[in-house]
């Protein structure tokens, strides 16, 4: 079995990977990186970069000297530690480390250097591939893992619609301006709840508080129990992909209404109801409200899709295939 270094963690993904790889018999070291200045604003953030990279030197030296079979770094700019180590490494892109950092001249230079040097590049949502065309030979689609043991436990299909959840961060990038104009009409179809979370939370609570109940996000360990209180979920309306929140809604067996770019999922399209704005959202909820059989069908299909594409078992197969070259029938949009 292999000795593996997982460097840095993003949204708990590396922690899950470490758990899976250890269960499979591999020896895994989880290595954190100094983050001094990471949350600063520009230009101070840029000034901190040389100091941060200098702080990476002892870790790069450790990666160089210790006999790791695999080095896997999360977040593209952090991949500089792999470059500094002078050894072969894998790097994993998570989102803003591509579409935001490539628009910044300093981060763009670092990001491209890391991408050029990496053996393989993992990306977690299919829309990220568009930013990586020049590296197509080394790309591997690695959907984020979802713990179906916990989040899906006890899920039963809804039989009617009385409670509606708007399950997304209240942020312009999530297209919430296309959801909330439907609030008054949705309120006629059921109780509507949204998260009091994101840069637009205060503004939207003032504007839509009469039609929507705003609640604070729950700890991740309680997300499954929270989602299962509702009969239908409305997800993001701008990015065209399923983020972790939409995937968790499907894992809980809840019919999902969201903006979807079907071209990003050619091999196994997710069983969701596509909508692009307020009118389409209301129409979708009305249709589901009059079709209990479709509620149950979407519930089962959603859970099955998440198991095929985001289960721990599938994620481990993809990781080991990438690391060691085993063929496991990867699905790659």
* Cα gap 61→280, rounded to integer Å: 55
What pTM did the predictor assign? 0.84
DSSP per-residue letters across 320-331: HHHHH-------
Does a structural domain hold residue 43? yes
pLDDT by residue, tens only, the chain of 333 residues = 899 999 999 988 999 999 999 999 999 999 999 876 555 565 555 556 677 778 899 999 999 999 999 999 999 999 999 999 999 999 999 988 898 888 888 889 999 999 999 999 999 999 999 999 999 999 999 999 988 877 877 778 999 999 999 999 999 989 999 999 999 999 999 999 999 999 999 999 999 999 999 999 999 889 999 999 999 999 999 989 999 899 999 999 999 999 999 999 999 999 999 999 999 999 999 999 999 899 999 999 999 999 999 999 999 999 999 999 854 444 344
* Cα gap 246→227, rounded to integer Å: 11
Are both 301 and 317 inside the same structural domain? Answer: no
3-state per-residue secondary structure call for 227-290: HCCCCEEECCCCCCCCCHHHHHHHHCCCCEEECCCHHHCCCCCCCCEECCCHHHHHHHHHHHHC
Are both 181 and 121 inside the same structural domain? Answer: no
Domain that holds residue 239: 148-310
State the pLDDT at residue 39: 54
Are both 100 and 114 inside the same structural domain? Answer: yes
* Cα gap 184→182, rounded to integer Å: 6
Are both 129 and 224 inside the same structural domain? Answer: no
Are both 26 and 134 inside the same structural domain? Answer: yes
Bridge partners, 5 (sequence order): 29, 71
Are both 304 and 175 inside the same structural domain? Answer: yes
Are both 171 and 81 inside the same structural domain? Answer: no
Are both 65 and 26 inside the same structural domain? Answer: yes
Are both 83 and 102 inside the same structural domain? Answer: yes
Reading the block at residue 14, the tokens are 């590396």
* Cα gap 57→186, rounded to integer Å: 55
How many domains is the chain built from? 2
* Secondary structure class of 168 (helix, strand, coil): coil
State the pLDDT at residue 36: 60
Write the burial class of residue 211 (CB in 10 Å: 0-12 exposed, 13-18 middle, 19+ buried): middle
Are both 28 and 71 inside the same structural domain? Answer: yes
Does a structural domain hold residue 331? no
Does a structural domain hold residue 218? yes
* Secondary structure class of 164 (helix, strand, coil): strand
Are both 52 and 186 inside the same structural domain? Answer: no
State the pLDDT at residue 220: 84
Are both 88 and 45 inside the same structural domain? Answer: yes
């Amino acid at each position: 079995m292999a000795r593996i270094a997982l460097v840095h963690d993003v949204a708990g993904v590396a922690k899950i990977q470490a758990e899976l790889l250890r269960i499979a018999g591999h020896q895994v070291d989880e290595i954190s990186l100094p983050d001094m200045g990471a949350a600063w604003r520009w230009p101070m953030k840029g000034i901190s970069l040389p100091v941060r990279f200098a702080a990476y030197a002892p870790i790069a030296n450790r990666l160089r000297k210790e006999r790791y079979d695999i080095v896997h770094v999360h977040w593209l700019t952090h991949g500089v530690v792999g470059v500094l180590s002078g050894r072969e490494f894998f790097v994993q892109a998570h989102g803003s480390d591509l579409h935001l950092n490539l628009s910044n001249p300093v981060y763009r230079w670092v990001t491209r250097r890391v991408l050029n040097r990496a053996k393989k590049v993992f990306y977690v949502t299919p829309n990220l591939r568009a930013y990586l065309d020049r590296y197509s030979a080394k790309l591997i689609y690695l959907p984020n893992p979802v713990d179906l043991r916990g989040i899906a436990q006890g899920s039963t299909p809804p039989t009617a619609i009385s409670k509606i959840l708007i399950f997304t961060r209240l942020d312009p990038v999530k297209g919430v301006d296309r959801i909330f104009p439907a609030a008054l009409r949705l309120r006629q179809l059921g109780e509507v709840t949204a998260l009091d979370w994101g840069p637009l939370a205060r503004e939207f609570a003032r504007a839509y508080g009469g039609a929507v109940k705003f609640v604070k996000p729950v700890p991740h360990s309680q997300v499954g129990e929270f989602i299962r209180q509702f009969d239908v979920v409305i997800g993001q309306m701008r990015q065209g992909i399923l983020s972790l929140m939409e995937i968790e809604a499907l894992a809980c067996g809840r019919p999902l209404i969201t903006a979807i770019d079907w071209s990003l999922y050619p091999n196994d399209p997710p069983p969701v109801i596509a909508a692009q704005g307020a009118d389409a959202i209301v129409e979708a909820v009305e249709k589901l409200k009059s079709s209990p059989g479709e509620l149950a069908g979407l519930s089962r299909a959603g859970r099955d899709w998440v198991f095929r594409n985001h289960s721990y078992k599938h994620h481990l197969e993809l990781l080991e295939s990438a690391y060691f070259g085993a063929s496991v029938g990867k699905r790659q949009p």
